[in-house]
Amino acid sequence: MESRIPSLAPAQWIPVQWTPLQWCRGQLHVFLSLLAIVGCMATGNSAEPIDRGFEIVRLGKPVAVIIKAEVSENPKVIEDAASELRYHLERATGANLSILREQEWMAMPKRIEASIHVGMTSASKSAGVDVSQMRPNGFVMRTVGKQLILAGKDGGEDTPLHDRVSMGTLFAVYEFLEQQVGVRWLWPGELGEFIPRQETLSSGTWSLTEDAKLMQRQWQFETLPSAGKQGWSTEAAWHKHKIDTYRWLRRQRISRSYTLDYGEAFTGYWQRFQTSHPEYFNQLPNGRREPDSQHPGHPAMCQSEPALWKQMVSDWKANRTEMLPWVNCSPNDTPGKCVCEKCLAWDGRSPAEQTQVLKQVREAFDQNAVTPLDWWRHLGPLSNRYASYLLAVQNEARQVDPEVTVIGYAYENYMRPPQRVQLNDRVVVMLANYLSFPYEEEISREFRSDCAGWSDTGARLILRPNITYGWHNFPAHFAERAGADIQFAFLQGVIGTDLDSLTGQWAAHGPSLYVIARAQLHPQKPTAEMLADYYRGFGLAADNVRAYFEHWQALLSGLSRDRWNAFAAERDQQDPGVLNFRTFYTVAEKFYSTQAFDEGYAILDRAALAVHGDDLASRRVAFLHAGLRDAELTLAVQRAFDSSRRDGDRDSFISAREALIRFRAENEGMLYSNIAYTTFCENRTWGW
């Protein structure tokens, strides 16, 4: 779903450097946006309510009822949609609207005329609403007389907490709550619900049809090891965090119209074919066809090998389903490493360049046995061979299905777009590039270049960055950059998103997480408006909270990729391979000084003073305070841990660790943090 009237302002934060082709694409996007607006006006698909419509609540008293459809593709969606509607209307107005089945309403001797119809009731059908041909999750919001129709394309058998359920009716309810009632969901749980109070509420006059524009919006959560119970002191708190997170994701319309669960294509290939078909696998610089020492049992493939393409198509024919119809070309989670003549020829280098590359690769590979190195980096970008491989597999599969689609990743050393291979719209590329920690200007520029470059090949794109990894539980603010980059990707025509991963540091990274969700839902809405929605939830402390997060943004402005790599090299002297985005806390003291914490606390103190007497806003400020204290205690544990390794005194480390555990247990009910995630990361070094 996009915003009602698209803003044509350029993306914020980093100026877009347009190539002529990108400029033409942008102008076409603007033209089509304007054409869509004119089309809505011409067809009556109104973007905003024409007038106030009929009253739903008058002076805190209900004057309308909620009617549930008797028949649905998924009755659980109808139940949930009606429940969510009543809950939010009661929180907004104090009025508890009755929920009736349609037959109950029709049988009333003195029927209440003003009604909200949830799902495909008889009134929905009489109003001309038809959702049968809509995509999953599409919906209609329409006012007819004193009836408001909220109906959509539903399906599946589970509750809407599961993202694979089609829940168009629920999304119609959420659209109404946002557009007419002004509701926003800032973070999971009741404290994060922003529901403006109003004694009288009208329906508005709506005529809106919203079909699903993306195949999926996904933000991985359950797949994380951190989705478990570790770190939580009670199962009740863990369960509440989990359920509230699912609910928040659905409220942000993070869901999947179709499944794109194409994982690694070659899982099990080494076990199946290492003896019978060694030609399927990468040829290493030593001439052997096997995994290298860094990825035992997990080899890269020889992408130029025709026998491999035939095997992939054979597996696809045997295993494809209606839910997963595409040919999966996704490599194992490892860089490209093959140095056979055919693969090297696909890279497009001159003979002299190829000779030099092979010399460097072989020297690094030989050294790798002594000092572990990323020897494969000397191969340089391999996107030309990767794009050629996608086309080769596609051509092989076209003998079975002329309209076949193949899907793969842009990742590791095939992340950069190809320079001399043109793809087509039956090739889908998942952009799994480094739009992640340390998230600074250089990374954004590289992402935009990659995104536009792959789009220029003619392939369709799925946005799949590791966008929220990093910073651990320390306060950070990257909302403007993330929002602008996501908006840029949407300009390139992505067909879906798959973000890895939702780490759930709500108090530490709240505005950024909120903007990442909203930018996927409203990719043309300025990020400044999204942030204003977030800060508005803090009442009179809005400006203080903005200053609080901008304080951390300024603090981290010096964390470049080069500086991070220098930290990693320094840490490797003591703990080889320990420092990565999951273990940021081991070097956090280089940024989060005592003075930085003191300044953060001072801003929150001013925020608390500004909302004195406003219980809800005060609790939200306390929520941020809990996140800051958690980070401070985490840093104290790390300092004690480092000290204990130097002098052997573990008592201080144990004491600091217990203080952190105690604080989390006492405050976990606030859901300020996914404690399982922080504990999972910390266990990598502290050995809890």
pLDDT, average across residues 626-645: 97
Q: How far apart are CA 48 and CA 39, in angstroms?
A: 14
What ranges do the domains of the chain cover?
A: 55-251
The residue whose two tokens read 């306390």 is: 622
> Which range has the worst mean pLDDT, 56-65, 367-376, 655-664?
367-376
pLDDT for 21 beyond 80? no
Identify the pLDDT of residue 224. 57
Q: How far apart are CA 415 and CA 491, in angstroms?
A: 19
Identify the pLDDT of residue 9. 30
pLDDT, average across residues 488-513: 95
140, 131 contact by CB (below 8 A): yes
> Which range has the worst mean pLDDT, 367-371, 381-385, 479-483?
367-371
- From first CA to last CA, the distance across the chain in angstroms is 44
pLDDT for 16 beyond 70? no
pLDDT in tens, 147-164: 999 999 999 999 999 998
* Residue type for position 584: F
The burial of 525, by beta-carbon neighbours within 10 Å (0-12 exposed, 13-18 middle, 19 or more buried), is given as buried
How much of the chain exceeds pLDDT 70, in percent? 91
pLDDT, average across residues 583-602: 96
Angle at 320 between CA 314 and CA 326, to 5 degrees: 95
pLDDT, average across residues 616-642: 98
Identify the pLDDT of residue 649. 86
The bridge status of strand 154-155 relative to strand 166-167 is antiparallel
**pTM, full prediction:** 0.90
Structure tokens, 489: 């990707």
pLDDT, average across residues 4-22: 34
pLDDT for 524 beyond 60? yes
The number of helix segments (H) and strand segments (E) in the chain equals: 21, 19
Identify the pLDDT of residue 495. 95
Identify the pLDDT of residue 364. 92
Mean pLDDT of the chain: 90
Nearest residue to 66 (alpha-carbon basis) of 76, 75, 57, 53: 57
Identify the pLDDT of residue 18. 37
pLDDT for 48 beyond 90? no
Domain 55-251 adopts which CATH fold? Chitobiase; domain 2 (3.30.379)
Identify the pLDDT of residue 101. 96
pLDDT, average across residues 192-210: 97
pLDDT for 2 beyond 70? no
User: What is the enclosing helix (H) or strand (E) of 296?
Assistant: none
Identify the pLDDT of residue 434. 66
* Residue 461 DSSP SS3: strand
Q: How far apart are CA 530 and CA 526, in angstroms?
A: 7
Higher pLDDT among residues 10 and 601, named by residue: 601
The bridge status of strand 201-202 relative to strand 99-101 is unpaired
pLDDT, average across residues 242-248: 96
* Residue 462 DSSP SS3: strand
Q: Which residues contact 480 (CB under 8 A, 6 or more apart)?
A: 12, 13, 515, 527, 528, 531
Identify the pLDDT of residue 8. 24
Place 578 in a pLDDT band, splitting at 50, 70 and 90.
Answer: confident
Q: How far apart are CA 586 and CA 577, in angstroms?
A: 12
Identify the pLDDT of residue 466. 85
Place 225 in a pLDDT band, splitting at 50, 70 and 90.
Answer: low
Q: How far apart are CA 403 and CA 399, in angstroms?
A: 10
pLDDT for 45 beyond 50? no
Could you give the residue ranges of the DSSP H alpha helices within 573-649? 594-610, 615-647
pLDDT in tens, 349-365: 999 999 999 999 999 99
* Residue 616 DSSP SS3: helix
Identify the pLDDT of residue 36. 36
120, 151 contact by CB (below 8 A): yes
Higher pLDDT among residues 45 and 397, named by residue: 397
pLDDT for 481 beyond 80? yes
pLDDT in tens, 411-458: 999 999 999 999 999 999 999 866 778 899 999 999 999 999 999 999
Q: How far apart are CA 607 and CA 446, in angstroms?
A: 37
Identify the pLDDT of residue 223. 58
Structure tokens, 266: 């070659």
The bridge status of strand 216-219 relative to strand 494-499 is parallel
Higher pLDDT among residues 229 and 179, named by residue: 179
User: What is the enclosing helix (H) or strand (E) of 118?
Assistant: strand 115-118
CA Rg value for the chain = 27
Place 222 in a pLDDT band, splitting at 50, 70 and 90.
Answer: low
Could you give the residue ranges of the DSSP H alpha helices within 94-234? 102-107, 122-126, 168-176
Q: Which residues contact 153 (CB under 8 A, 6 or more apart)?
A: 73, 131, 132, 134, 135, 136, 137, 138, 139, 166, 168, 212
Identify the pLDDT of residue 227. 62
454, 461 contact by CB (below 8 A): yes
Q: Which residues contact 528 (CB under 8 A, 6 or more apart)?
A: 12, 480
pLDDT for 125 beyond 60? yes
